[in-house]
């Protein structure tokens, strides 16, 4: 049974047949943008279904790469749905419910029913195209937003917001630099010129044109922080610390959302946000990007009588790359709990002496090498990654950076060999060829018509990585990225390996979460941040639950035979206190 027009008034009391007609404890709610519709049903009517399914999310893996948009109409047109959406909603713009004539209400009701029929058409296609595990993953994604398990410490967030605003005021007052100068690129550039400094420049990755290099991580800005003229250094420091409104905006947003839900804090995610299948932030609350020092992590708490339990897959991408490449010495280090892969790599370079967990600086450099060089990063990128890291106070020169980069490629030679293999596969795919490697299928244009018309990599569990319009351009290979939104992205062996590694890691963490959910009867799930799962568990159940999580996080489908997995699990009253 579907809703189909039963909900026509603002409260359950005014429309009792809605509750009587639907057995909410045994129903799957289907909606396009279910996070919105399900929230309305919950808050306005008190209805919570047994399961959620979002057709907008369901469209992201195999439809949006070609439809270019994920609106109901765009997805329906891509699937050649015979039902037309119409333009009734546009005609009603600016008209309130109370201003609608009986005819307008009837027309609007028919429009809503047509939308429901279109949604059902899309649902039937999607459920035939995706696995039950994907359907349940979509359910859990919506569930974390509609049924929040975490609460927000509102006084803590209010205090942090006040401090952030006061910090900026004091910064501007102390330096005598106007806010307008700091916020405007052109005025900031003029201020630098007035002090005899040429503004640092770079080539924009988006446009290919010259642009100001005013980001915190840009080397030019880092260099100006150490300028011999203290006025220059002060101006740059003021720009770096005063321009950003991210923390202020995020504190405000979190506070407003939780305030409207009596302190409950949703965890909105977008399923398949990246073309690799990884989750992304949603509803302007990017839960995937809370820095470790952010007060918001401390403010996200479990209710009284519960604990936040966090479990993170350890070095999953580095392990996945070593497994894909057959780099057995690295895999051996990962398998042996007494070995430290970072220390072994750093010591083997022969430039740091013996690297141990106690030699923080050299271990940090070695760790950054293991975790950042697997996708063909060069010397400049590695040099910048180390020197701009907030976790490293020292500085390495380009000579040291070069020794680490080439030492990595020499020691773990099968990984660069895999870059070259994938580079060849990509070129062959453009020519129509198809390859198989490690259970993966690299589909070229010769077979692409069977998969929507785009070259792609077929993954386990029915997932794919599409490379729409893969082609040669200006001596490079490029494809239309961002799920078809018109941006062109460069593709090469290292980048393809990154895509594949992240996609496979997402399958592992998805399978882990589903096993945990089934064993806990779909309770406790609170959030996900990349390779980290977040739960809220009753105090008395934490030891048993943690033991089960530690076991399940280290399991993998037989496709991943030989892949060594490990996890770190911790619990605390707040998210920020979990390691």
User: Over the stretch 237-273, which tens digit does the pLDDT of each residue have?
Assistant: 888 877 767 788 889 999 999 999 999 999 999 999 9
Degrees, nearest 5: CA angle 404-493-330: 45
Whether residue 251 contacts residue 299, with contact meaning beta carbons closer than 8 Å, is answered with no
Higher-confidence position of 167 and 124: 124
pLDDT for the residue numbered 525: 94
Q: How confident is the model at residue 12 (pLDDT cuts 50, 70, 90)?
A: very low
Burial of 522 (C-beta count, 10 Å sphere; 0-12/13-18/19+): middle
pLDDT at 223: 85
3-class SS letters over 72-118:
HHHHHHHCCCCCCCCCHHHHCCCCCHHHCCHHHHHHHHHHHHHHHHH
Alpha carbons 488 and 514: distance in angstroms, whole number: 34
pLDDT computed for residue 16 by the predictor: 65
Structure tokens at 570: 């911790």
List alpha helices for 130-200, DSSP H: 132-146, 154-175, 179-183, 185-194
Radius of gyration of the chain (CA): 26
Contact 204, 211 (CB under 8 A): yes
What DSSP character marks residue 474?
A: T
**Given a cut of 60, is residue 9 above it in pLDDT?**
no
Buried-exposed string 49-63: b where 16+ CB fall within 10 A, e elsewhere: bebbbbbbbbbbbbb
More confident residue, 151 or 523: 151
Q: How far is CA 359 from CA 251, 317, 354, 401, in A?
A: 37, 24, 9, 18
DSSP β-bridge partners for residue 527: 534
Tell me the pTM.
Answer: 0.88
Whether residue 82 is predicted with pLDDT greater than 90 in this model: the reply is: yes
Mean pLDDT of 105-109: 88
> Taking 70 as the threshold, does the pLDDT of residue 13 lie above it?
no
- How confident is the prediction for the chain on average, in pLDDT? 90
Sign of CA dihedral 299, 301, 304, 307: negative
Of the candidates 262, 253, 264, 263, the residue with the CA atom closest to the CA atom of residue 290: 253
- Token digits for 363? 């271990």
Winning range, highest mean pLDDT, from 9-18, 87-96, 540-549: 540-549
- What mean pLDDT do residues 30-36 have? 95
- Express each pLDDT in 429-480 by its tens digit: 999 999 999 999 999 999 988 888 999 999 998 999 999 999 999 999 999 8
Residue range 43-64: mean pLDDT, rounded? 92
pLDDT of residue 486: 59
Q: Is the pLDDT of residue 5 over 70?
A: no
DSSP label at 44?
I
pLDDT > 70? residue 17: no
Share of the chain above pLDDT 70, in %: 95
Q: At what angle do helices 493-519 and 414-430 cross, to 10 degrees?
A: 100
Query: Does residue 180 surpass a pLDDT of 90?
Result: no
Tell me what pLDDT residue 456 has.
96
* pLDDT at site 578: 93
3-state DSSP call for residue 571? strand
pLDDT at 418 over 70: yes
More confident position, 405 or 222? 405
pLDDT at 485: 54
Could you tell me what percent of the chain has a pLDDT over 90?
Answer: 65
Whether the CB-CB separation of 301 and 527 falls below 8 Å is answered with no
Residue 510 CB contacts under 8 Å (≥ 6 apart), including other chains = 133, 137, 461
552 or 236, higher pLDDT: 552
Q: What is the pLDDT of residues 328-386, one digit of tens each?
A: 999 999 999 999 999 999 999 999 999 999 999 999 999 999 999 999 999 999 998 99
């Amino acid at each position: 049974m579907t809703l189909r027009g039963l909900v026509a008034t603002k409260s359950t009391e005014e429309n009792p047949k809605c509750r009587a007609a639907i057995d909410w404890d045994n129903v799957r709610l289907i909606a396009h943008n279910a996070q919105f519709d399900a929230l309305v049903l919950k808050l306005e009517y008190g209805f919570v279904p047994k399961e959620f399914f979002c057709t907008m999310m369901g469209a992201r893996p195999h439809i949006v790469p070609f439809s270019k948009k994920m609106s109901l109409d765009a997805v329906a047109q891509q699937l050649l749905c015979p039902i037309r959406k119409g333009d009734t909603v546009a005609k009603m713009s600016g008209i309130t419910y109370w201003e609608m004539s009986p005819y307008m209400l009837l027309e609007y009701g028919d429009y809503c029913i047509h939308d429901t029929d279109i949604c059902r058409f899309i649902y039937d296609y999607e459920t035939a195209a995706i696995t039950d595990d994907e359907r349940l993953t979509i359910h859990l994604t919506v569930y974390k937003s509609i049924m929040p398990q975490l609460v927000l410490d509102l006084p803590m967030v209010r205090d942090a917001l006040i401090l952030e605003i006061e910090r900026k005021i004091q910064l501007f007052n102390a330096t005598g630099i106007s806010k307008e100068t700091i916020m405007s690129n052109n005025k900031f550039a003029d201020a630098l010129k007035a002090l005899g400094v040429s503004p640092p420049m770079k080539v924009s990755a988006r446009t290919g044109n010259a642009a100001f290099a005013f980001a915190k991580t840009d080397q030019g800005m880092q260099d100006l922080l150490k300028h011999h003229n203290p006025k220059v250094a002060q101006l740059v420091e003021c720009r770096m610390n005063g321009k950003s409104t991210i923390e202020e905006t995020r504190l405000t947003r979190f506070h407003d959302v939780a305030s409207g839900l009596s302190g409950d804090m949703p965890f909105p995610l977008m399923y398949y946000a990246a073309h690799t299948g990884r989750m992304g932030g949603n509803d302007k609350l990017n839960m995937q990007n809370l820095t470790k020092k952010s007060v918001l992590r401390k403010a996200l708490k479990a209710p009284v009588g519960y604990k936040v339990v966090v479990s993170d897959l350890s070095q999953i991408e580095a392990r996945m790359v070593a497994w894909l490449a057959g780099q057995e010495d690295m895999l051996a280090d990962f398998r042996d709990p007494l070995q430290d892969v970072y220390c072994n790599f750093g010591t083997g370079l022969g430039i740091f002496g013996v690297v141990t967990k106690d030699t923080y600086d050299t271990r940090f450099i070695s760790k950054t090498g293991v975790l950042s060089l697997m996708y063909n990063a060069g010397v400049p990128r590695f040099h910048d990654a180390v020197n701009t890291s907030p976790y490293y106070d020292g500085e390495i020169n380009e000579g040291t950076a070069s020794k680490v980069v080439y030492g990595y490629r020499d020691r773990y030679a099968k990984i660069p060999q895999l870059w070259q293999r994938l580079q060849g596969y990509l070129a062959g795919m453009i020519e129509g060829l198809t390859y198989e490697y490690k259970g993966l299928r690299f589909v070229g244009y010769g077979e692409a018509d069977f998969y929507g018309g785009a070259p792609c990599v077929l993954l386990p569990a029915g997932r794919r990585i599409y490379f729409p319009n893969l082609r040669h351009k200006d001596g490079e290979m490029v494809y239309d990225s961002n799920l078809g939104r018109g941006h062109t992205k460069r593709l090469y062996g290292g980048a393809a390996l990154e895509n594949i590694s992240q996609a496979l890691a997402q399958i592992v963490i998805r399978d882990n979460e589903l096993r945990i959910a089934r064993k806990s009867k779909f309770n406790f799930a609170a959030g996900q941040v990349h390779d980290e799962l977040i739960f809220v568990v009753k105090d008395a159940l934490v030891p048993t639950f943690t033991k089960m999580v530690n076991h399940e996080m280290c399991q993998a489908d037989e496709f991943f035979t030989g892949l060594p997995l490990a996890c770190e699990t911790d619990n605390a009253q707040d998210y920020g206190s979990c390691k």
